[in-house]
Structure 1
């Protein structure tokens, strides 16, 4: 009898302990209940984990960040949770799916330290997709924040293999134009393999969780001029951590540490999880959790085009060859023809304007090449120093519109800093004012 009483007390204590632990943590699942995110604070560190069909996708991994205000990665307590749902439909004309129905459950977990500083981690969980970001309110009288280091991490089960592309060192390669985001992917490599340059990996990152029979795709979305683009660091501490751009990127111009006004938020970190590659191939999460920054001035239509440079590279920049490819586009019924680098030298600006008008007369719209800047690589292909200068850029876009251009191809972006993200936005916004489409080349993840 005594043994039974002791056993009963042990059961009661275990139940009380489990109840206490449950109070300090929260969970949210996707609509079908298979993808589950657990969130808690362990010894003051915000931590999350992810399972799919009860199998480990992300092992308990730290969250948070260090900032000029405070360290939001330690000494934190989970003090509140809000829940909601998303059920929306939208259309897209430029991605893998035209009509998208997105349903997800949302959990917002607020963490606070003993100074009263707060951050909220917002989780959006669909059937196979997870997106999360940090939302930061004003902190007392402080209405601006600089993020010094993100502690966001992804810890994967032992035995996982990787499909990753290395982040290049800055200011190396042809004409010191790297990173140009054209490095090769490794296939099925162990997690502890050091990347080619020792600088971690460019998004997106694919993982085969062999012991669990799962696939996980890690990426980001919602990056804009209020933050930098990020990457995964080298494998350490059983996983990978978010890292910011290297100081050497963009020839040292701009800070590696993003800053934004408060209240504000960081970009979304995304995970797609499934028992096969089907959810990875079909995911629309990069678009599901973002909204257009502005209403476009016109209904831009992608289409087919010709490109003389593909055959003779820079030597193809001459009047006759460019005209031949414009005629080729017209004969094939294609909408566009790309006039690539050095057109302002050969055939020259006046003859190129003549070519552009000729293209329009044949029902073909020209796209025109530009270097992104003139100060973060040694590229000599022209035009340079046009797209990075707002005064010159707007004058140039006015000239393009007057001569029948329908788009620009802007090349050789030299890094992922917040300054570069602002340049992407500025080019897109100004181009929209003149009804121009934009191709970014040598650029980061869209």
Structure 2
């Protein structure tokens, strides 16, 4: 009898131990996620090709109804698979096939309330989220804090952008995701008290690369960011309570059953999976049907170089004529148009643009209550009644899109405002660009009329800041591996003035070459691109450069990483229909000699746009060898494009 009891006890003990851990691998078997419970706390770890990418990192949530961070038990786990195919014209790849293995791990706390963590693991991506059931009669809760951690091996270095101080910046509109980046920093140097924005890039010693972000953030949750490095770990951090002038919760109010957004981890032995990832869209759904087919393309805008003084009827006619001469689809008419042109004259201007084959985007201030931004139109987008009245007029006069500015916060209240604007705009057939805004988190798929966000230290700071001009190439070499890897990026670039002002004779000197600028038109992905050309460029820029821009697509069927290192140089290839564009920029202080492998162009005659030591840009035809291998030199602050 004692032997039988001992055997039963051993079997029961083995069962309990087995339930304290679970694991899942990617379809190709290279990526593995392990989940454990240690001293009552849930952890996960990540390995790729048997190399550690994330060491034991805590999981857990704190809600106002239950604590899921300690005294936890792993109740059960289950595995499965998921797959989908979808087509999207406005991201880096037009057709995507997604396949992942799934793991659902269910935990219970000391009060026997349950929480699950759902992992979807594809070959180079992990997406996971917390799912909360109903607890008895409890049908709602507030998620107050998240303990999701990222415990990197000690040899790792970071490539991060600090979160801006709340209620700082211009007219107390921060944070707006417009800070610069540092590159190859030791982990312990990441001490920003405000934390760091997503996406967040890390080099894991000799093991590879990891990119962190999140997706699926809509009106039902707050956006998050990365904490500073404390006690050897980064964690998911919720918005600072001071954002939006202190109004609104820093957590999320959700109904039960409910779930958090997806935390995403993209990783590999090189940067190719980082650049080519589609995980922000793979795990989210479209939230409503488009009211019409939206047209993407290029546009002009006067404000970027000619600034506020250009907001008059005559200058806008010049920019409409510029758009028409360049075969661009759009003009963006920026701040102050309602006061300095007026609604009646604006209708006349829109009619003129239409006669030239150019459609119109109009700028709006999102603000009514959240900050001190004073540019007009004001109080037109912040309430449903005002918004719908304005959008009805916009549709009637033929406006095709909005650029809405000055948000400054990641609280759930602000996420609701983004979603409400997008949903209402779709009802009136309007596309939306956000400026002074947060990172889009799966929005290209979730909202069919969303066509891009700034959320980066963009072209306007090249006008205002010498430091940004000095670092233009550095930042451009970063974006394909970080900001633009996870979302469309409305940069507003292609500056071809030698001096970044209306006179173009002295002042803010541009330090990069024209070839560099053309290359960023390929490197920076956004379905609607407002380029920073000026009317004088029709006379003072070589015709072959203008022809390049006339033909340049803004939508891509395929994106391929070719070469690069964040902060030093980047080379990408993008395909639109049958045409390939290979573009690169050099952020280092010496000539970059590259040997590239371009199998997509093997044996083809192509056009090479490149620069020389004097920053002069040239165009010539070359033949790519049948091997697809080619040598390319890139000047400091320079770039190149190869186009077939």
Mapped to 2, the partners of 1:15 and 1:161 lie a distance apart of 45
Instruction: State how 1:290-369 maps to structure 2 within 5 Å.
Output: 290-369=284-363
Local SS of the residue matching 2:342 = helix
CA distance in 2, matches of 1:128, 1:94: 22
Aligned length: 431
Call closer, same or farther: CA 1:308–1:332 in 2, change over 3 Å: same
SS at match of 1:202: coil
1:334-362 alpha-carbon deviations (Å, 9 max, x no partner): 11100000000111221112111221222
Deviation (angstroms), 1:77: 0.7
Asked if 1 retains the 8 angstrom alpha-carbon contact of 2:52 and 2:207, the reply is no
Superposed counterparts of 1:103-118, under 5 Å: 103-118=99-114
**Unmatched segments (≥5 aa) in structure 2:** 1-9, 441-644
| Helix, strand or coil at the partner of 1:198 | coil
User: Structure 1 residue 66: deviation in Å?
Assistant: 0.7
Tell me how far apart the structure 2 counterparts of residues 37 and 47 of structure 1 sit (CA, whole Å).
10
Q: Equivalences for 1:42-191 in 2 at 5 Å?
A: 42-191=38-187
Post-superposition offset of 1:28 = 0.2
Instruction: Say if 2:211 is the partner of 1:213.
Output: no
Task: Give the match's secondary structure for 2:213.
Answer: strand
Cα distance in 1 for partners of 2:378, 2:171 equals 14
Q: Tell me what 1:200 maps to.
A: 195
Q: Structure 1 residue runs of 4+, over 3 Å off?
A: 14-23
Relative to structure 1, is the Cα distance of residues 370 and 235 closer, same or farther in structure 2, using a 3 angstrom cutoff? same
For the structure 1 residues 17 and 262, does the alpha-carbon distance in structure 2 shift closer, same or farther, using more than 3 Å as the test?
closer
Q: 1:113 to 1:442 in 2, by over 3 A?
A: same
Residues in 1 aligned to 2:213 and 2:428: alpha-carbon distance in whole angstroms:
32
Shift of 1:194: 3.5
Cα offset for 1:374?
A: 2.5
2:27 to 7, 28, 31: 31
How far apart, CA to CA, are the structure 1 residues paired with 2:33 and 2:117? 12
User: Any conservation in 1 of the 2:24–2:32 contact (CA below 8 Å)?
Assistant: yes
d(CA) in 1 for partners of 2:250, 2:348: 43
Distance 2:378 2:184 in 1: 40
1:374 aligns to 2:368 (yes or no): yes
Q: 1:413 and 1:373 mapped to 2: Cα distance? A: 7
Q: Alpha-carbon deviation of 1:23? A: 3.9
1:273-316 superposed Cα distances (whole Å, 9 cap, x missing partner)? 10000000000000000011111111112101111112211111
TM-superposed CA distance for 1:87, in Å, is: 2.0
- CA displacement at 1:21 relative to structure 2: 4.0
The separation in 2 between residues aligned to 1:240 and 1:251, in whole angstroms, is: 27
Q: Secondary structure at the match of 1:430?
A: helix
Q: Quote the Cα distance in structure 2 between the aligned partners of 1:16 and 1:314.
A: 75
The separation in 1 between residues aligned to 2:366 and 2:19, in whole angstroms, is 52
**After superposition, what is the alpha-carbon deviation per residue over 1:363-393, rounded to whole angstroms, capped at 9, x for unaligned?**
2110000011132222111111111111000
CA 1:392–1:241: 2 relative to 1, 3 Å: same
In structure 1, the partner of 2:436 is 442
Find the residue that maps to 1:192 and give its secondary structure: helix
